[in-house]
Structure 1
Amino acid sequence: MTTRLDGRSRTAALQELRAAEPLDVLVIGGGVTGAGTALDAATRGLRTGIIEMQDWASGTSSRSSKLVHGGLRYLYNLDFALVAEALRERGLLLETIAPHLVKAQPFLWPLKTPVIERSYSAVGVGLYDTLSILTNQGVTVPVQKHYSKTDALRVFPDIKDDQIVGAIGFFDARVDDARLVIDLVRTAAHHGALAASRVQATGMIKDSDGRVIGVDAVDLESGEALRIPARRVINATGVWTEDSEAMSDVPQTLKVLASKGIHLIFDRSRINGSTGLFLRTEKSVLFIIPWQRYWIIGTTDTPWAQERLHPVPTSEDIDYVLEHANAVLDSDLTRDDIIGTYAGLRPLLQPVDHERSSTKVSREHTVAELAPGLVAIAGGKLTTYRKMAQDVVDFALGEEEAERLPSVTDKTPLLGAIDLTSVTRRMPHLSRPFGWSAGRQEHLLDRYGDEVVELIELIKEDPSLARPLRSAPAYLGAEVVFAVTHEGALHLEDILTHRVRLDYETPDRGVGALPEIAGLVAPRLGWDADRVAAEIANYTASAQATLAAQRTTDDADAARVRENAPDLVPLAVPE
Structure 2
Amino acid sequence: MADSEHRGAEVITGRLGPAERADAWRRLGSEQFDLVIIGGGVVGAGAALDAATRGLRVALVEARDLASGTSSRTSKLIHGGLRYLEQLELGLVREALRERELLLTRLAPHLVKPVSFLYPLSHRFWERPYTAAGLFLYDSMGGARSVPGQKHLTRAGALRMCPALKRDALIGGIRYYDGQTDDARYVMSLARTAAHYGAVVRTSTQVVGMLREADRVSGVRVRDAEDGSETDVAAHAVVNCTGVWTDEIQRLSGSRGRFRVRSSKGVHIVVPRDRIVSDTGMILRTEKSVLFVIPWRSNHWIVGTTDTDWNLDLAHPAATKADVDYILDHVNKVLATPLTYEDIEGVYAGLRPLLAGESEETSKLSREHAVARVAPGLVAIAGGKFTTYRVMAADAVDAASADLSGRIAPSITDKVPLLGADGYFALVNQADQLAARHGLHPYRVRHLLDRYGALVHEVLATAKDRPELLKPIPAAPDYLQVEVVYAAANEGALHVEDALTRRTRISIEYPHRGVDCVEPVAHLMGEVLGWDGQTIAREIEVYTARVEAERDSQTQPDDQAADAKRSAAPEARQSISDPVA
- When normalised by structure 1's length, the TM-score is 0.95
**Counterpart amino acid of 2:500?**
L
Structure 1 position 573, deviation (Å): 4.9
**Among 92, 110, 135, the residue aligned to 1:100:** 110
2:57 to 26, 47, 56: 47
Aligned to 2:27: 16
Of residues 463, 472, 477 in structure 2, which corresponds to 1:473?
A: 477
Aligned residues of 1:258 and 1:347 also touching (Cα < 8 A)? yes
Deviations 1:221-270 (A, max 9, x none): 12111100000100000000001000111123221111100000001111
Say whether 1:36 aligns with 2:46: yes
Cα contact 1:114–1:166 (8 A) shared by 2: no
Give the residue type in structure 2 aligned to 1:87: L
Other-structure match for 2:410: 406
User: In the alignment, which residue of structure 2 is the partner of 1:415?
Assistant: 419
Residue number in structure 1 paired with 2:258: 253
Structure 1 stretch displaced more, 485-494 or 363-372: 363-372
Distance 2:410 2:540 in 1: 46
Aligned residue among 428, 436, 440 for 1:432: 436
CA distance in 2, matches of 1:149, 1:290: 21
| Corresponding position of 2:157 | 151
Answer whether contact 2:377 2:403 (CA < 8 A) is retained.
no
Show the counterpart of 1:172: 178
Task: Give the residue type in structure 1 aligned to 2:466.
Answer: D
CA positional deviation for 1:482: 0.9
Residues 475 and 402 (structure 1 numbering): CA distance in 2 closer, same or farther, change over 3 Å?
A: farther
The alpha-carbon deviation at position 436 of structure 1 amounts to 2.9
Q: Deviations for 1:369-419, whole angstroms, at most 9, x for unmatched residues? A: 111000000000000000000111111114998974011100100011122
2:52–2:198 Cα contact (<8 Å) kept: yes
In the alignment, the residues of structure 1 paired with residue 23 and residue 134 of structure 2 have an alpha-carbon distance, to the nearest angstrom, of 52
Letter in 2 for 1:238: G
Q: State whether structure 2 residue 101 is matched by structure 1 residue 91.
A: yes
Question: Does the residue aligned with 2:236 lie in a helix, a strand or coil?
Answer: coil
Q: 1:287 maps to what in 2?
A: 292
The aligned amino acid for 2:331 is A
What secondary structure does 2:231 align onto? strand
Q: Which residue in 2 is equivalent to 1:378?
A: 382
Determine the structure 1 residue equivalent to 2:312: 306
CA contact (8 A) 1:264 1:318 kept: yes
**Cα contact 1:417–1:450 (8 A) shared by 2:** yes
Cα distance in 2 between the residues matched to 1:116 and 1:273 = 26
Give secondary structure in 1 for the equivalent of 2:269. Answer: strand
Q: 1:228 to 1:32 in 2, by over 3 A?
A: same
Residues 366 and 378 in structure 1, CA contact (< 8 A), matched pair in contact too: yes
Contact 2:249 2:579 in 1 (8 A): no
1:317 maps to a residue whose letter is D
Q: Which residue does 2:147 correspond to in 1? A: 141
1:123 and 2:130 correspond? no
**TM-score scaled by length of structure 2:** 0.94
CA contact (8 A) 1:424 1:450 kept: no
Distance 2:75 2:406 in 1: 33
Matched, 1:341 2:341: no
What's 1:187 paired with?
193
For the 8 Å contact 1:31–1:59, the answer to whether it is kept is yes
Whether 1:509 and 2:513 are equivalent positions in the alignment is: yes
Post-superposition CA distance 1:491-547 (Å, at most 9, x none):
101111101221111122100101111221211110111110000001000110100
Alignment of 1:315-394 (within 5 A): 315-350=321-356, 364-394=368-398
Equivalent of residue 278 in structure 2, options 257, 273, 277 = 273
- Separation of aligned partners in 2, 1:177 and 1:522: 26
Assess, with a 3 A threshold, how the Cα gap between structure 1 residues 363 and 220 changes in structure 2: closer, same or farther.
Answer: closer
Offset, 1:86: 0.3
Aligned to 1:205: 211
Structure 2 portions without partners, runs of 5+? 1-10, 359-364
Residue in 2 that maps onto 1:547: 551
Q: Tell me the secondary structure at the aligned position of residue 139 of structure 1.
A: coil
Q: Secondary structure at the match of 1:473?
A: strand
* Cα shift at 1:444: 0.9
Q: What residue number does 1:397 align with? A: 401
State whether structure 2 residue 35 is matched by structure 1 residue 25. Answer: yes
CA distance in 2 between partners of 1:119 and 1:245 (Å):
47
Partner Cα separation in structure 1 for residue 536 and residue 117 of structure 2:
44
Aligned amino acid, residue 293 of structure 2: I
Aligned in 2, Cα 1:127/1:347: closer, same or farther, shift over 3 Å?
A: same
Task: Give me the CA root mean square deviation.
Answer: 1.7
Retained in 2: the 8 A contact 1:394–1:402?
no
Among residues 548, 556, 561, which one is paired with 2:560 in the alignment? Answer: 556
Choose which of 8, 11, 14 in structure 2 pairs with 1:3.
14
Q: How far off its partner does 1:108 sit?
A: 0.5
Tell me the residue number matched to 2:7. none
CA contact (8 A) 1:4 1:487 kept: yes
Query: Percent identity, aligned pairs only?
Result: 49
> What is aligned with 1:356?
none
2: distance between equivalents of 1:572 and 1:492? 20
Q: Hey, what's the Cα distance between the residues in 2 that align with 1:573 and 1:236? A: 17
Distance 1:363 1:175, change over 3 A: closer
Native 8 Å contact 1:203 1:574 kept in 2: no
Query: For residues 397 and 336 of structure 1, do their structure 2 counterparts lie closer, same or farther at Cα, with a shift above 3 Å needed?
Result: same
Deviations 1:71-120 (A, max 9, x none): 11111122211111000000011001111111011111000123210010
Confirm or deny that 1:219 pairs with 2:229. no
CA contact (8 A) 1:100 1:416 kept: yes
Q: What SS does the corresponding residue of 1:218 show, helix, strand or coil?
A: strand
Amino acid at match of 1:69: H
User: How many pairs does the alignment contain?
Assistant: 561
d(CA) in 2 for partners of 1:122, 1:403: 47
Q: Give a deviation string over 1:192-226, Cα, whole Å, max 9, x none.
A: 00010001101110102x11110011111121111
- The alignment partner of 1:222 has SS state of coil
Contact 2:57 2:198 in 1 (8 A): yes
Judged with a 3 Å threshold, the aligned counterparts in structure 2 of structure 1 residues 314 and 242 are, in CA distance, closer, same or farther, namely same
SS of the counterpart of 2:417? coil
Alignment partners' CA distance in 1, 2:525 and 2:190: 23
Instruction: Provide the secondary structure at the position in 1 that maps to 2:432.
Output: helix
Structure 1: runs of 5 or more not aligned: 353-360
- Residue 529 of structure 2 corresponds to residue 528 of structure 1: no
Change (3 A) 1:549 1:421: same
Output the CA distance in 1 between the equivalents of 2:356 and 2:339: 37
SS at match of 1:230: strand
